Amino acid sequence: MGNKNNLYKPENYYVRVIKYAILQIIAAILIILWLMPLYALFVGALKSNIAAASTPALLPPSKPSGEAYYFVWHGFGGIYGLIGLEYPLIREILIDVPIAALATLLGAMGAYFFYMIMDRHYIWSTIGFAIISLATYLPVETTTVPLIQIVTSLHLYNTYYGVIIAYLMFYIPMAALLMSIFMPSIPKYLLEAAKIDGASDWRVFWKVMMPLLVPGFLSTFIFTFLQIWDNFFIPILLISNPQEMLLSVAVRQYAGGYAIIYNRSFAAGVVGSIVPLVIFIFLGRYFIRGLAALGGGAKGV
Amino acid sequence: MKNQGYLMVIPTLFFAGLLLVTVIWNVWLSFLNSSILVHKPKFVGLATYQYLFSQYFFKISTTHTIVFTIGLVAIGNVLGLLFAGLLYFIPNNVQRSLYLSVFIYPLAIASSTSALIWEWLLNPTIGVDWLLKLLHLPAPYWLGTSNMTLVSMIMIEVWAYTGLATLFYLASFMNVDKTVVEAARLDKAGGLKILFRILIPNSMNGFIISTALLFLFSFRIFTIPFVLGGSATSPTLMTYVMYVYNLFISEYFSASAAMAVIVTIIAAAVILPFAIFGLMKWVFKR
């Protein structure tokens, strides 16, 4: 270890400073590149129609204007046939929050069962795990024809119940998978001890499991919520009545076309993603933990 | 009653079972000739698949799906590795997690919003091309030709999903024994040498996870090409999952189901080994 002193020689110090500066500069450039679409979104949405028609999207507006937001919020259906985003946003929140909570809770119960039978019934829990993984990762579009046949035969086409059934079909298994990945952090002897003391599964789940698993539960809930929010295919497949549109489909009306310049598209985009963005800014670590759970909670790495 | 566990698993099994029913239903439907043109569908065996394989849209959607998937898996893995390497050497924890969040945020916002933003950013006069021209760089006509549309689509996918690869590679790097890295540093190994000789060779699982997830996310991408193309009818953006929907709206139900079966088989071929030999083994340490 005679060369340890070399680390603190002056030229070595400068080389390290320069290397560190290069590292920070590259990182900064990448961060700017990655944030550029978000910047364009917020800046562009604040432009007036005239400013949007005459300036490029990446320049900030000389005078901020709420014109575009006013337009997409109310929609002016009579003139342009566009549905405003006010009601789609409210509907989206009213459907997504309870469904995400329900899916997370029911999925957690399923995960609890698989976790408990793991040791005794290895084959069955493997099959269960395979099925919930398949449901998590399978493209939603594969269910197109059967789903619409199930939903129409139950007379639920163009109702939110059809959409909710479809969401539960995908997101209860997904929540069960994520919860299965968070659950092994709780030592099994705690659960076994409670069961030996005569507690029922229901009590063990609520009194032992859930209090210890609050962060995992919250991660699963937030991840599921954002997945449901992002879902575009189910609403476009199962709802054709413009008066019942959900947010992701309603936002798409503003993708371009008659009377749409980018300020209105971007304002629609802000309305479509403001809830996910706020959640990501304040509770981002829970979302990231949920994302990591998709890959085994990064436990295998 | 002590074994309420069986009751608690019923909702999960019911809805997961419903999904399996749709998969089997697809297989059954794909052997019929159900479409808007047929009054009473009958069993035709593999004729629907033959019909499908002869279609022009099937061929181009195969090409596009392969291009998008290979493009994202290759570029996403390489960039994810490099970004994770970059973040690994940032000593400040707060800065590191902030930067990681920036790479991940495209996954959190709604993909319909991403599509709206990119549609305008790739506009030849007011979008990024304006900036590129200002800097005297070549300004491609992004969504103008069919080849450039594929390039644009891969670019958007890379923007959207590289954070995923970065997350898992960074987790692998963080898992590499710190003393090994410190020892290399004392032997005056540079950052790049540590990255390529120590961190990357020890990140096999990170590679498996990010490859599987990048593949699956790319394979299922629907909203962005749908919004960019105006609907699921655009030949330049047609992929397998788009084609399932396209066949459904043109009311070729059996062909749509057959296409869904093909998608299911390909996806399951990745999902099942990944879940059983990867996830389960790592999580439950079996």
Instruction: Cite the beta strand spans of A122-254 per DSSP E.
Output: none
Look at residue B1 in the predicted model and tell me its pLDDT.
46
Percent share of chain B, pLDDT over 90 = 67
State pLDDT tens for residues B36-81.
Answer: 888 888 899 899 999 999 999 999 999 999 999 999 999 999 999 9
Other C-beta atoms closer than 10 Å to the C-beta of B207 total 18
Whether A259 has a pLDDT exceeding 80, the answer reads no
Assess contact for A184 and A116: CB atoms under 8 A.
no
| Domain range annotation of chain A | 2-79, 82-294
State pLDDT tens for residues B135-149.
Answer: 999 888 888 888 999
CA B150 → CA A86, B146, B247, distances in Å?
35, 7, 22
CA A41 → CA A60, A272, B111, B120, distances in Å?
11, 11, 13, 10
Say yes or no for a CB contact (<8 Å) between A233 and B223: yes
Look at residue B181 in the predicted model and tell me its pLDDT.
87
Top-tier CATH class for A82-294:
mainly alpha
Query: What domains can you pick out in chain B, each with its CATH number?
Result: 53-284 (1.10.3720.10)
Other C-beta atoms closer than 10 Å to the C-beta of A6 total 10
State the Cα–Cα distance between residues B46 and A123, nearest whole angstrom: 34
Residues of chain B with pLDDT under 50: 1
Span A255-269, mean pLDDT?
85
Whether A3 has a pLDDT exceeding 60, the answer reads no
Say yes or no for a CB contact (<8 Å) between A251 and B112: yes
Region at A223 (left for phi over 0; alpha for psi -120 to 50; beta for the rest): alpha
Interface probe, candidates A137, A185, A261, chain B, greatest B C-beta count within 10 A: A137
Which of A238, A292, A175 is CA-nearest to residue B206? A292
State pLDDT tens for residues A32-48.
Answer: 999 999 999 999 999 99
Look at residue A2 in the predicted model and tell me its pLDDT.
44
State pLDDT tens for residues A128-169.
Answer: 999 999 999 999 999 999 999 999 999 999 999 999 999 999
The owner of tokens 């000389």 is: A62
Assess contact for B80 and B189: CB atoms under 8 A.
no
Helix (H) and strand (E) counts in chain A = 15, 0
The closest CB to that of A133, out of B103, B120, B275, belongs to B275
Which amino acid, A15?
V
Interface probe, candidates B10, B14, B18, B128, chain A, greatest A C-beta count within 10 A: B18
**Distant-in-sequence, close-in-space partners of B68: CB < 8 Å, separation ≥ 6:** B150, B153, B154, B157, B218, B221, B239
State pLDDT tens for residues A63-89.
Answer: 898 988 998 898 876 666 788 899 999
What b/e string do you get for A23-33 counting C-beta neighbours within 10 Å, with b at 16 or more? Answer: beeebeebeee
Report residue A92 as tokens.
């989206």
Assess contact for A88 and A153: CB atoms under 8 A.
no
Span A166-177, mean pLDDT?
96
Say yes or no for a CB contact (<8 Å) between B282 and A299: yes
Look at residue A16 in the predicted model and tell me its pLDDT.
82
In residues, how long is chain B?
Answer: 286
Report yes or no for ipTM above 0.90.
yes
> Does the beta carbon of A240 lie under 8 angstroms from any beta carbon of chain B?
no
Task: Quote the minimal CA–CA distance from B64 to chain A in Å.
Answer: 16
Cα-flanking dihedrals φ and ψ of residue A63, to 5°?
A: -135, 115
Which of B206, B205, B202, B208 is CA-nearest to residue B270? B208
